Structure formats: structure tokens, C-alpha cells
Amino acid sequence: MSVFNFPKWYDLHVHFRQGEPVADYIQAHIDMGCAGILAMPNTQPPVARVSGKNTDTYWTIENYLRDLQKAEGDAFSDIIIPLYLTPDTTPEMIIEGAKSGALHSAKYYPPHGTTNSEHGAGLETYMNNGVFEAMQDAGVILNIHGEEHGLSGEAYFGANSNAEDYFYRQRMPALVEKFPDLKIVCEHITTKTAVDFVSSANQNVAATITPQHLMFTVADLLQGLKYHLYCLPLVKFEQDKQALLAAARSGNTKFFAGTDSAPHAVKATQCGCAAGCFTGGIAPQLYAMGFDLDENNADAFKKFLCTNGAEFYDLDIPTETFTLEKKPSNPEVKSNATPLHKGLGIELNWTLKL
Ligand SMILES: [Zn+2]
């Protein structure tokens, strides 16, 4: 019987949204052994100010943090909320935010790249207006959604390239060269190109990987059009999945867990499909399935899920633990969104206990 004991972990990329459902989403994260979280700022309006009152245009980290804490988020030891970068973000805002202790990271969204990402600007804006420089100086981490915006057809998703591939070949080298001391997390990477880029970049460059990108390819999405697997960046090809798995299993400290769990109450409609997989309550089980967790890779799994990310963000490794047992489970997750295993109709190979 395989039973593994791990320290509680940090989900370093999750969407908790806003309003009444937040409490259920947070509970699902607590139920899967999360000690802390990095909650993405793409609410409506976006969290694009550090402190002060919310306005119709922008919310503040201070207020969104309070909202999450009120929705039982005070059970978490740490909550990081990145600042949503917009053309209105200033270097002064970064410096002051960091000094106040409220600002730890900031998120780059390609304009119109994914859910509620219409407020961002192109990468060159922040490379040239002093914002990235201020982040580098103040030690504020950059969370980057690495996809080129404005592409379509073959350039967006083709056999030989795609929006992420393009971004890591054409944009990232210049960014890292210009700001070598800027700590960067390449969020939810999905391609061999991104794995190779992060592996060969300096030690300030790391990456999160979601469970679904370790488990599935675009074939799984397309066969039967399983829209619950529709997320951005899209699941890619077998060689990409193998590169992601090799990176995660390598124990390399640059790669760590960030689920990108993104609940949508209504996933598919008559005119499209919301991007995002909801993996609250089930992520460690999915990661263990992707990893094919066993005695030989349990140490690498622990680094990937529990310690690499915490160390990159300078968070304490929790003393509390949870267990994963190799025993099928089909957990109910209380939520208005469909968790990925139910959406795909799969049983989990692992049972999680706190
Ligand atoms: Zn995300």
C-alpha cells in the first residue's frame, strides 16, 4: 500500500474570483491541504491598486485581501495578491507598495489574452516605463502570463508554433537580458519551448505548472470536445507534456505547483467557452496522477508541490502535513463550478487525507 506524507503546500497560482462563491472555492483549497495561496487579481474590476478604497475602475490589494480573509481565507498562513499591471501602474506605486509590505508580486496579462485580461498592455510598455525596473529594484516578483497577444490562426495555435512558443522565443530573452535581477515566475507553462527557456535562464526565473498540463494533451481536449479541459494556455502536444513532466520530476528548484484553478459557474455557452479548469479540492491527487507518484519520485514530488515554490517566494515550509494514499477516490467538491474530474468523468487514483 502506497501512502505518502507531505507538508501542507502553497498553491502559487489560483483564481478565487469574487462575491458569494469565494468561500466555497477557498474551502476547497483548505480541504486539499493548502497552507497558503497566491490569489490572482483578475477580478472585475481588477486588483490594480495597492491600498486605499476600491473604485469602479480598480480594486486594491488591501481590500481584496480583506474579502478573502472574511471568506474563511484567514485559515491560510499566507495570502499573496499580485498587483494587476495596467498602463496606469507607476514605478512609484511599486516602490511604495513594496515598502509598505503589501506588495510582493505583480501580474502581467497579455491584453485580451484570457478571462478578465482586457486591462493590460503589451510587455514593452512595462519594459520602458520604469515599472519593471522598479520591481527589480524593490524585489517585487513578476508573474507572467507568457503568451503573445493579437495572434490568430496558424500563429496562435499551429503544428510548429503557438502563442506561448512565440512569446518565449521572441519576448522573454529580451526581458531577462534587460532585467537580470528581476524575479520572474513564468505562469502555467505548457510548451517544451518554455521549459527549455526557464531551465537555461538565470536563477531568478522560475515557472509554475498546472496539473492538467502534466496529464493531458490537446487530443484529450478535442476527442469528444471535453470543454472542461479548455484553459489558457491550451493543453499542447505529447512532447510538450513530456518536457513538463521531466521538469517537474527533475527536482529542479525552478519548477513548482500553481494550479491555475479557475472556477466558472457557467463553463460553456451557446457562443463560446470560458477558459479555466477548476481543480479546487483535487489538485494534489491530479498532480500525483500526472507524476505517477511512487517511492522513486516522492522526493521530487515533495519539492515540486511543497518546497520549491515556498522557497522562491520566501515562505515557511509548514509543519502540518497531509497524506496521499494510492486508492481511488471521487471527491465531492462543494461549489457552483464543476471540478475537473467530474467534468471529464474520471476517477482519481489517489485519496487525500488531512
Ligand atoms: Zn491564471
95 or 268: which leads in pLDDT: 95
- Examine the pLDDT at 110 and tell me if it is beyond 70: yes
298 or 114: which leads in pLDDT: 298
108 C-alpha vs ligand 1 centroid, how far in Å?
Answer: 11
pLDDT for the residue numbered 198? 98
pLDDT for the residue numbered 217? 98
65 C-alpha vs ligand 1 centroid, how far in Å?
Answer: 17
Q: Kindly state the average pLDDT of the residues 96-111.
A: 96
Query: What DSSP designation does 177 have?
Result: H
- Report the relative pairing of strands 3-7 and 321-325 from DSSP bridges: antiparallel
- Examine the pLDDT at 115 and tell me if it is beyond 80: no
pLDDT digits (tens, 9 = 90+) for 138-194: 999 999 999 999 999 999 999 999 999 999 999 999 999 999 999 999 999 999 999
25 C-alpha vs ligand 1 centroid, how far in Å?
Answer: 15
Rounded to 5°, angle at Cα 106 from 105 and 112: 150
Catalytic residue among 137, 220, 260, 299: 260
DSSP per-residue letters across 282-320: THHHHHHHHHT--TTTHHHHHIIIIIHHHHHTT-PPPS-
| 99-to-95, 103, 129, 134, 138 alpha-carbon distances in Å | 6, 8, 20, 12, 8
Q: How crowded is residue 127: how many other Cβ atoms within 10 Å of its Cβ?
A: 16
- Examine the pLDDT at 13 and tell me if it is beyond 90: yes
Model pTM? 0.96
CB neighbour list of residue 172: distance below 8 Å, 6 or more residues apart: 146, 186, 197, 201
260 C-alpha vs ligand 1 centroid, how far in Å?
Answer: 5
pLDDT digits (tens, 9 = 90+) for 334-348: 999 999 999 999 999
Rounded to the nearest integer, the mean pLDDT of the chain is 96
Helices and strands of the chain, counted as H and E runs: 16, 16
pLDDT digits (tens, 9 = 90+) for 23-35: 999 999 999 999 9
Give the type of residue at 142: L
pLDDT level of residue 268 (50, 70, 90 thresholds)? confident
Domain ranges of the chain: 3-353
pLDDT level of residue 272 (50, 70, 90 thresholds)? confident
- Examine the pLDDT at 100 and tell me if it is beyond 70: yes
Q: Is the peptide bond before 233 cis (omega within 30 degrees of 0)?
A: yes
Active site annotation includes 260: yes
pLDDT for the residue numbered 273? 86
- Single out the residue of 335, 278, 305 nearest to residue 27, CA to CA: 335
3 C-alpha vs ligand 1 centroid, how far in Å?
Answer: 31
Could you tell me the three cell numbers for 300? 521530487
pLDDT for the residue numbered 269? 78
295 C-alpha vs ligand 1 centroid, how far in Å?
Answer: 31
- Examine the pLDDT at 97 and tell me if it is beyond 70: yes
Phi, psi of 339 (to 5 degrees): -65, 150
Q: Kindly state the average pLDDT of the residues 2-8.
A: 97
Q: Kindly state the average pLDDT of the residues 202-226.
A: 97
Inter-axis angle of helices 238-249 and 192-200, to 10 degrees? 30
CB neighbour list of residue 117: distance below 8 Å, 6 or more residues apart: 42, 109, 110, 111, 145
Could you tell me the three cell numbers for 235? 493543453
Architecture of domain 3-353: Alpha-Beta Barrel (3.20)
Place of cell 509554475: 208
- Examine the pLDDT at 114 and tell me if it is beyond 90: no
User: CA 32, CA 341: separation in Å to the nearest integer?
Assistant: 14
- Examine the pLDDT at 261 and tell me if it is beyond 80: yes
120 or 284: which leads in pLDDT: 284
Give yes or no for a contact between 14 and 27, defined as CB atoms under 8 angstroms apart: no
Give yes or no for a contact between 220 and 214, defined as CB atoms under 8 angstroms apart: no
pLDDT for the residue numbered 113? 66
DSSP per-residue letters across 150-167: T--HHHHB-SS-BHHHHH
pLDDT for the residue numbered 1? 66
Burial 59-76 (b: 16+ CB within 10 A, else e): bbbbbbbebbeebbbeeb
User: CA 68, CA 86: separation in Å to the nearest integer?
Assistant: 22
pLDDT level of residue 315 (50, 70, 90 thresholds)? very high
258 C-alpha vs ligand 1 centroid, how far in Å?
Answer: 9
User: CA 16, CA 309: separation in Å to the nearest integer?
Assistant: 19
**Burial level of 1, CB count in 10 A (0-12/13-18/19+)?**
exposed
DSSP per-residue letters across 228-283: GG--SSPP--HHHHHHHHHHHHT--TTEEE---B---SS-EETTEE------TTTH
